[in-house]
Amino acid sequence: MIAPRQAYLHYVDGDSWAAPIRRLYGAVDEEWQRERMTSLLHRHYRRFGAERLLLVSAPGRTELGGNHTDHQHGRVLAAAVHLDCLAAATPNGTDRIRLSGEGVDAEIDIDCTQTRPRPEEEGTPQALVRGVIAGFRERGLATGGFDTSLHATVRPGTGLSSSAAFSVLIGEICNLLFNGNRLGPLDLALIAQSAENGFFGKPCGLMDQLACAAGRILHIDFNDPVQPVMEVVDSCPFTSRYCLAVVDTGGSHSGLTDEYAAIPGEMSKAATVLGQPFARGLAIDQVRAGLPQLRRQAGDRAILRLFHFIRENDRVMEMVEALRAGDTGTYLQLVRASGDSSWRLLQNCTSRTSSEEQGVPLALALTEMFLADGAWRVHGGGFAGTIQVYVPQELFEAYRQHMEGVFGSGCVIELQVGRPGVCAILPDGRLLPAGQEG
């Protein structure tokens, strides 16, 4: 699958380039993408002297529905986005993995035979690389040294799973270079999740990694979290009238670990009171019937969070049905209901750590006052970070300027959704997804 650098340069410069690239990046400026790839190819040659290489792209993801449901074996609706990690990779015949890139904080040079977690690397790209290599070795898969040049448009801190995209990217490079692309999206996602949990120090479910690896718009059922059931939702009717975006409120996630951990902790504690290890399978009537015991043993907030999970889990199916029916109005009503539930019941919009930094509820309130039409909700983990908005196309620029006046230039990030998952870009114009033969 490795091809000459000149073959890639000829492909990127040719007329056949645009059609497959639109599958990855949608309506985003094609000439900018052409320049981006050309620059990456030249930079890879200057840095590593590589005349043969492979281009790989791993998308970020956005959560469309199912806020804090995956860790309770629930359902989610997620989509791959056009913002990605794009890499040129070349095997180097050594045990060294060397990475140089834009969008990554540091140059990386590690020994791929050293696969124990290192506490001093927590929170760094080095930890993710080391964790992915460890995951391959634990499964008896081949690894080796390679040189990689990277350009990332999915930025850390924007709620689009940059760490998951990076982990999946490294996994797919190993998959392609040393394992004949035999691993599919689920295997890559499980390896990436293990790297984030055990090496990077980020407790997370599997939704982020699976959405990055599999791509498209996915309904994922985590009733069996080791073998989740995925189905593609091909219809996306809202794009004809609305712009989908996230708004980065600029809040810091530092000091919020306890607040994040309390959500699955309280849900599981309340479910245990009712005789189950997780909230999946509980009904509202069961919770109501057990209120006296739940209040004594789990507390009121845990009850509210159970109510959120049960209704949100059902809401995901309603959102899928609305998308497939082309019913944008119902879909956006469900998006607003999801956001309202997260704010009132799940309570992951306001943080107790700082009364002065409440960017998420401020952004939601400003959006609600600005828009008479559309939808808005907290995006992802909550407490700080991003909200998700659906803005009528004719109002999008005015909305962008309004929010940038509060949260700073570039805070509104428009998204194209539904692209393929992690894949190799071949110089004949084909996209090769994980697990498929070339």
Report the range of poorest mean pLDDT among 212-216, 235-239, 321-325.
235-239
Report the range of poorest mean pLDDT among 37-41, 255-259, 319-323.
255-259
The C-alpha atoms of residue 115 and residue 205 are separated, in whole angstroms, by: 22
What is the tens place of the pLDDT at every residue in 219-231? 999 999 889 999 9
pLDDT for the residue numbered 205: 80
Give domain status of residue 398, yes or no.
yes
Give domain status of residue 298, yes or no.
yes
Question: At a CB cut-off of 8 Å and minimum separation 6, what does 382 contact?
Answer: 67, 68, 342, 346, 348, 349, 360
Give domain status of residue 220, yes or no.
yes
Clarify whether residues 112 and 133 are in a common domain: yes
pLDDT for the residue numbered 350: 84
Nearest Cα residue to 353 out of 260, 230, 232, 228: 260
Clarify whether residues 214 and 290 are in a common domain: no
What is the tens place of the pLDDT at every residue in 79-88? 999 999 999 9
Clarify whether residues 249 and 178 are in a common domain: no
Model confidence at 70, pLDDT cuts 50, 70, 90, reads: very high
Nearest Cα residue to 77 out of 246, 289, 271, 317: 317
The CATH number of residue 80's host domain is: 3.30.230.10
Instruction: Work out the average pLDDT over 4-21.
Output: 88
Give domain status of residue 119, yes or no.
yes
pLDDT for the residue numbered 399: 99
Boundaries of domain holding 82: 3-234+419-433
What is the tens place of the pLDDT at every residue in 350-391? 877 777 778 999 999 999 999 999 999 999 887 778 999 999
Give domain status of residue 188, yes or no.
yes
Model confidence at 51, pLDDT cuts 50, 70, 90, reads: very high
Nearest Cα residue to 419 out of 192, 263, 215: 215
Clarify whether residues 160 and 205 are in a common domain: yes
First to last CA, the chain: 7
pLDDT for the residue numbered 105: 59
Clarify whether residues 21 and 134 are in a common domain: yes
Task: Calculate ∠ Cα 55-111-46, nearest 5°.
Answer: 40
pLDDT for the residue numbered 128: 96
Give domain status of residue 438, yes or no.
no
What is the tens place of the pLDDT at every residue in 251-260? 765 566 677 7
Instruction: Work out the average pLDDT over 311-336.
Output: 98
pLDDT for the residue numbered 16: 79
Query: How many distinct structural domains can be found in the chain?
Result: 2
Clarify whether residues 316 and 228 are in a common domain: no
Radius of gyration for the chain, computed over Cα atoms and rounded to the nearest angstrom: 22
Give domain status of residue 167, yes or no.
yes
Clarify whether residues 425 and 311 are in a common domain: no
The C-alpha atoms of residue 382 and residue 89 are separated, in whole angstroms, by: 35
pLDDT at residue 99 is higher than 80: yes
The mean pLDDT value of the chain amounts to 93
Clarify whether residues 182 and 279 are in a common domain: no
pLDDT for the residue numbered 417: 96
pLDDT for the residue numbered 420: 96
Clarify whether residues 167 and 288 are in a common domain: no
What is the tens place of the pLDDT at every residue in 189-214? 999 999 998 998 887 789 999 999 99
- CB contact at 8 A, 367 and 389: yes
Clarify whether residues 151 and 31 are in a common domain: yes
Give domain status of residue 213, yes or no.
yes
pLDDT for the residue numbered 383: 73
What is the tens place of the pLDDT at every residue in 102-150? 756 568 999 999 999 999 998 899 999 999 999 999 999 999 999 999 9
Clarify whether residues 117 and 129 are in a common domain: yes
The CATH number of residue 318's host domain is: 3.30.70.890
Question: At a CB cut-off of 8 Å and minimum separation 6, what does 93 contact?
Answer: 144, 145
Clarify whether residues 42 and 191 are in a common domain: yes
Report pTM: 0.94
pLDDT for the residue numbered 159: 84
- CB contact at 8 A, 73 and 280: yes
- CB contact at 8 A, 136 and 152: no
pLDDT for the residue numbered 254: 56
